[in-house]
Amino acid sequence: MLNIILFGAPGSGKGTQSEKLIERYGLKHISTGDLCREEIREGTALGAVADSYISKGQLVPDDIVIGLLEDQLKRCCTKPGLIFDGFPRTLVQGEALDQILAKYNERVSIVLSLEVDEDELIQRLLKRGEVSGRSDDNLEVIESRLRVYHEQTTPLKTFYQNQGKLVKVDGVGSIDDIFASMVSAVDQLFVKA
Ligand code: B4P
Protein backbone atom coordinates (compact mmCIF):
# COMPACT_ATOMS: atom_id res chain seq x y z
CA MET A 1 0.00 0.00 0.00
CA LEU A 2 1.01 3.61 -0.55
CA ASN A 3 0.87 5.37 2.84
CA ILE A 4 1.73 9.06 2.63
CA ILE A 5 2.18 11.45 5.53
CA LEU A 6 1.62 15.10 4.67
CA PHE A 7 3.70 17.06 7.09
CA GLY A 8 3.98 20.81 7.61
CA ALA A 9 3.17 23.82 9.76
CA PRO A 10 -0.41 25.07 10.14
CA GLY A 11 -1.44 26.65 6.86
CA SER A 12 1.35 25.02 4.87
CA GLY A 13 -1.22 23.54 2.49
CA LYS A 14 -1.66 20.00 3.83
CA GLY A 15 -5.43 20.00 3.35
CA THR A 16 -5.15 21.66 -0.07
CA GLN A 17 -2.56 19.20 -1.42
CA SER A 18 -4.27 16.17 0.19
CA GLU A 19 -7.28 16.64 -2.04
CA LYS A 20 -5.11 16.55 -5.14
CA LEU A 21 -3.05 13.55 -4.02
CA ILE A 22 -6.23 11.63 -3.20
CA GLU A 23 -7.55 12.27 -6.68
CA ARG A 24 -4.28 11.24 -8.29
CA TYR A 25 -3.59 8.04 -6.35
CA GLY A 26 -7.09 7.07 -5.13
CA LEU A 27 -6.05 7.19 -1.48
CA LYS A 28 -8.26 7.30 1.62
CA HIS A 29 -8.02 10.61 3.48
CA ILE A 30 -7.37 10.70 7.20
CA SER A 31 -7.26 14.24 8.63
CA THR A 32 -7.13 14.36 12.41
CA GLY A 33 -8.11 18.05 12.24
CA ASP A 34 -11.29 17.11 10.32
CA LEU A 35 -11.99 14.24 12.74
CA CYS A 36 -11.72 16.61 15.71
CA ARG A 37 -13.93 19.22 14.05
CA GLU A 38 -16.54 16.52 13.28
CA GLU A 39 -16.67 15.59 16.98
CA ILE A 40 -17.07 19.28 17.86
CA ARG A 41 -19.91 19.69 15.31
CA GLU A 42 -21.68 16.62 16.66
CA GLY A 43 -21.43 17.98 20.19
CA THR A 44 -19.79 14.86 21.68
CA ALA A 45 -17.92 14.85 25.00
CA LEU A 46 -14.71 14.17 23.08
CA GLY A 47 -15.49 17.12 20.80
CA ALA A 48 -15.82 19.42 23.83
CA VAL A 49 -12.36 18.39 25.02
CA ALA A 50 -10.87 18.79 21.52
CA ASP A 51 -12.47 22.24 21.17
CA SER A 52 -10.91 23.44 24.42
CA TYR A 53 -7.43 22.77 22.94
CA ILE A 54 -8.01 23.75 19.30
CA SER A 55 -9.51 27.14 20.18
CA LYS A 56 -6.34 27.97 22.16
CA GLY A 57 -4.02 26.78 19.40
CA GLN A 58 -2.80 23.79 21.40
CA LEU A 59 -2.56 20.18 20.29
CA VAL A 60 -5.38 17.86 21.26
CA PRO A 61 -3.98 15.25 23.74
CA ASP A 62 -2.20 12.30 22.11
CA ASP A 63 -4.52 9.61 23.54
CA ILE A 64 -7.61 11.28 22.01
CA VAL A 65 -6.09 11.80 18.57
CA ILE A 66 -4.51 8.33 18.47
CA GLY A 67 -7.91 6.83 19.45
CA LEU A 68 -9.64 8.71 16.62
CA LEU A 69 -7.02 7.51 14.17
CA GLU A 70 -7.28 3.89 15.26
CA ASP A 71 -11.08 3.98 14.82
CA GLN A 72 -10.65 5.33 11.30
CA LEU A 73 -8.10 2.70 10.36
CA LYS A 74 -10.42 -0.09 11.50
CA ARG A 75 -12.87 1.22 8.92
CA CYS A 76 -10.57 2.11 6.07
CA CYS A 77 -7.13 0.49 6.09
CA THR A 78 -7.57 -0.58 2.48
CA LYS A 79 -5.73 -0.54 -0.83
CA PRO A 80 -4.38 1.39 -2.62
CA GLY A 81 -3.40 3.31 0.51
CA LEU A 82 -3.86 6.17 2.92
CA ILE A 83 -2.96 9.79 3.24
CA PHE A 84 -2.34 11.08 6.74
CA ASP A 85 -3.06 14.82 6.74
CA GLY A 86 -1.83 16.51 9.92
CA PHE A 87 -0.96 13.29 11.73
CA PRO A 88 1.41 12.62 13.45
CA ARG A 89 2.11 15.91 15.23
CA THR A 90 4.19 14.60 18.16
CA LEU A 91 6.86 11.94 18.56
CA VAL A 92 4.42 9.88 20.63
CA GLN A 93 1.97 9.94 17.71
CA GLY A 94 4.73 9.04 15.24
CA GLU A 95 5.73 6.00 17.26
CA ALA A 96 2.07 5.02 17.72
CA LEU A 97 1.45 5.24 13.97
CA ASP A 98 4.31 2.85 13.22
CA GLN A 99 2.90 0.37 15.75
CA ILE A 100 -0.69 0.67 14.51
CA LEU A 101 0.30 0.22 10.86
CA ALA A 102 2.43 -2.80 11.78
CA LYS A 103 -0.74 -4.52 13.04
CA TYR A 104 -1.96 -4.38 9.42
CA ASN A 105 1.49 -5.39 8.09
CA GLU A 106 1.80 -1.86 6.76
CA ARG A 107 4.29 0.98 7.07
CA VAL A 108 4.70 4.64 6.21
CA SER A 109 5.89 4.90 2.59
CA ILE A 110 6.94 8.57 2.44
CA VAL A 111 6.71 11.78 4.46
CA LEU A 112 6.19 14.89 2.32
CA SER A 113 7.17 17.97 4.30
CA LEU A 114 5.74 21.24 3.00
CA GLU A 115 8.27 24.00 3.69
CA VAL A 116 6.73 27.48 4.00
CA ASP A 117 8.13 30.57 5.76
CA GLU A 118 6.35 31.94 8.79
CA ASP A 119 5.15 35.26 7.31
CA GLU A 120 3.47 33.43 4.44
CA LEU A 121 1.82 30.96 6.87
CA ILE A 122 0.36 33.80 8.94
CA GLN A 123 -0.96 35.59 5.85
CA ARG A 124 -2.60 32.41 4.51
CA LEU A 125 -4.28 31.55 7.79
CA LEU A 126 -5.54 35.10 8.36
CA LYS A 127 -6.98 35.03 4.84
CA ARG A 128 -8.62 31.67 5.47
CA GLY A 129 -9.99 33.07 8.76
CA GLU A 130 -11.99 35.66 6.82
CA VAL A 131 -14.17 32.88 5.40
CA SER A 132 -13.57 29.69 7.40
CA GLY A 133 -15.29 30.66 10.64
CA ARG A 134 -12.68 28.48 12.38
CA SER A 135 -12.04 29.44 16.00
CA ASP A 136 -8.29 28.94 15.49
CA ASP A 137 -7.77 31.19 12.43
CA ASN A 138 -7.05 34.46 14.26
CA LEU A 139 -3.67 36.06 14.91
CA GLU A 140 -3.32 35.21 18.61
CA VAL A 141 -4.20 31.55 18.10
CA ILE A 142 -2.16 31.29 14.86
CA GLU A 143 0.94 32.45 16.76
CA SER A 144 0.32 29.86 19.43
CA ARG A 145 -0.15 27.10 16.78
CA LEU A 146 3.14 28.04 15.15
CA ARG A 147 4.94 27.97 18.52
CA VAL A 148 3.48 24.54 19.28
CA TYR A 149 4.50 23.34 15.81
CA HIS A 150 8.14 24.33 16.40
CA GLU A 151 8.27 22.85 19.90
CA GLN A 152 6.29 19.63 19.54
CA THR A 153 5.98 18.74 15.85
CA THR A 154 9.30 19.59 14.18
CA PRO A 155 11.23 16.86 16.13
CA LEU A 156 9.33 14.43 13.86
CA LYS A 157 11.44 15.63 10.94
CA THR A 158 14.53 14.02 12.47
CA PHE A 159 12.46 10.94 13.36
CA TYR A 160 11.51 10.41 9.69
CA GLN A 161 14.87 11.58 8.32
CA ASN A 162 16.47 8.79 10.36
CA GLN A 163 14.06 6.35 8.71
CA GLY A 164 15.05 7.71 5.26
CA LYS A 165 11.45 8.72 4.54
CA LEU A 166 11.47 12.52 4.74
CA VAL A 167 11.20 14.49 1.48
CA LYS A 168 11.16 18.29 1.75
CA VAL A 169 8.97 20.10 -0.77
CA ASP A 170 8.97 23.85 -1.36
CA GLY A 171 5.44 24.81 -0.29
CA VAL A 172 5.55 28.36 -1.71
CA GLY A 173 4.36 28.90 -5.26
CA SER A 174 1.38 27.78 -7.28
CA ILE A 175 -0.71 24.92 -5.92
CA ASP A 176 -0.15 22.99 -9.16
CA ASP A 177 3.65 23.42 -9.09
CA ILE A 178 3.80 22.25 -5.47
CA PHE A 179 1.61 19.29 -6.37
CA ALA A 180 3.89 18.40 -9.29
CA SER A 181 6.92 18.29 -6.92
CA MET A 182 5.03 15.96 -4.62
CA VAL A 183 3.96 13.66 -7.43
CA SER A 184 7.52 13.43 -8.65
CA ALA A 185 8.70 12.40 -5.15
CA VAL A 186 5.92 9.81 -4.79
CA ASP A 187 6.46 8.38 -8.27
CA GLN A 188 10.13 7.79 -7.39
CA LEU A 189 8.87 5.18 -4.92
CA PHE A 190 7.42 3.15 -7.78
CA VAL A 191 10.70 3.40 -9.72
CA LYS A 192 12.60 2.07 -6.68
CA ALA A 193 10.05 -0.69 -5.99
P1 B4P B 1 -5.58 20.98 10.72
O2 B4P B 1 -6.99 20.78 10.41
O3 B4P B 1 -4.63 19.86 10.39
O4 B4P B 1 -5.22 22.29 9.93
P5 B4P B 1 -4.04 23.25 9.55
O6 B4P B 1 -2.73 22.72 10.07
O7 B4P B 1 -4.47 24.57 10.02
O8 B4P B 1 -4.02 23.46 7.99
P9 B4P B 1 -3.41 22.94 6.63
O10 B4P B 1 -1.93 22.83 6.61
O11 B4P B 1 -4.20 21.74 6.23
O12 B4P B 1 -3.70 24.17 5.69
P13 B4P B 1 -4.56 24.36 4.36
O14 B4P B 1 -4.25 23.41 3.29
O15 B4P B 1 -5.99 24.47 4.77
O16 B4P B 1 -5.40 21.26 12.31
C17 B4P B 1 -6.23 22.10 13.08
C18 B4P B 1 -6.04 21.88 14.60
O19 B4P B 1 -6.54 20.56 15.00
C20 B4P B 1 -4.60 21.85 15.13
O21 B4P B 1 -4.10 23.16 15.38
C22 B4P B 1 -4.73 21.01 16.44
O23 B4P B 1 -5.23 21.76 17.51
C24 B4P B 1 -5.76 19.96 16.05
N25 B4P B 1 -5.10 18.73 15.57
C26 B4P B 1 -5.16 18.24 14.29
N27 B4P B 1 -4.41 17.12 14.18
C28 B4P B 1 -3.86 16.90 15.41
C29 B4P B 1 -2.97 15.92 15.93
N30 B4P B 1 -2.49 14.94 15.16
N31 B4P B 1 -2.60 15.99 17.23
C32 B4P B 1 -3.06 16.96 18.03
N33 B4P B 1 -3.90 17.93 17.60
C34 B4P B 1 -4.30 17.91 16.30
O35 B4P B 1 -4.02 25.77 3.88
C36 B4P B 1 -4.25 26.95 4.62
C37 B4P B 1 -4.64 28.09 3.70
O38 B4P B 1 -3.62 28.36 2.75
C39 B4P B 1 -5.90 27.78 2.88
O40 B4P B 1 -6.75 28.86 2.95
C41 B4P B 1 -5.40 27.55 1.46
O42 B4P B 1 -6.30 27.99 0.48
C43 B4P B 1 -4.13 28.39 1.42
N44 B4P B 1 -3.09 27.79 0.55
C45 B4P B 1 -2.77 26.48 0.45
N46 B4P B 1 -1.77 26.30 -0.44
C47 B4P B 1 -1.42 27.56 -0.89
C48 B4P B 1 -0.44 28.06 -1.82
N49 B4P B 1 0.40 27.25 -2.49
N50 B4P B 1 -0.35 29.40 -2.01
C51 B4P B 1 -1.19 30.24 -1.36
N52 B4P B 1 -2.15 29.83 -0.48
C53 B4P B 1 -2.27 28.51 -0.24
Note the pLDDT of residue 193: 67
Residue 60 DSSP label: P
Q: Please state whether beta strands 28-31 and 166-170 pair in parallel, antiparallel, or not at all (unpaired).
A: unpaired
- 20 within some domain: yes
Neighbours of 143 (CB within 10 A): 13
> What residues flank ligand 1, with Cβ below 6 Å?
8, 10-16, 31-33, 36, 53-54, 59-60, 65, 86-89, 93, 124, 128, 136, 145, 175, 178
- 192 within some domain: no
Q: For residue 12, how far is its CA from the centre of ligand 1 (angstroms)?
A: 6
Is 175's pLDDT higher than 70?
yes
Phi and psi angles of residue 63, each rounded to the nearest 5 degrees, phi first: -60, -35
- 193 within some domain: no
As for how many domains the chain has, the answer is 1
Q: Please state whether beta strands 28-31 and 81-85 pair in parallel, antiparallel, or not at all (unpaired).
A: parallel
Note the pLDDT of residue 78: 74
> What are 108-132's pLDDT values in tens digits?
999 999 999 999 999 999 999 999 8
**Strand, helix or coil for residue 2:** strand
- 191 within some domain: no
Is 147's pLDDT higher than 80?
yes
> What are 37-68's pLDDT values in tens digits?
999 999 999 999 999 999 999 999 999 999 99
Specify whether 89 is catalytic: yes
Q: For residue 14, how far is its CA from the centre of ligand 1 (angstroms)?
A: 6
Mean pLDDT for 147-154 is 98
CA nearest ligand 1 atom 49, residue: 175
Neighbours of 3 (CB within 10 A): 22
Provide the CATH number for the domain around residue 68: 3.40.50.300
- 189 within some domain: no
- This model's pTM is above 0.85: yes
Specify whether 165 is catalytic: no
Domain that holds residue 85: 2-183
Q: Which carries the bigger pLDDT value, residue 191 or residue 137?
A: 137
Mutate-to-test residue for ligand 1 from 7, 14, 16, 117, highest number of ligand atoms within 8 A of CB = 16
Phi and psi angles of residue 32, each rounded to the nearest 5 degrees, phi first: -70, -30
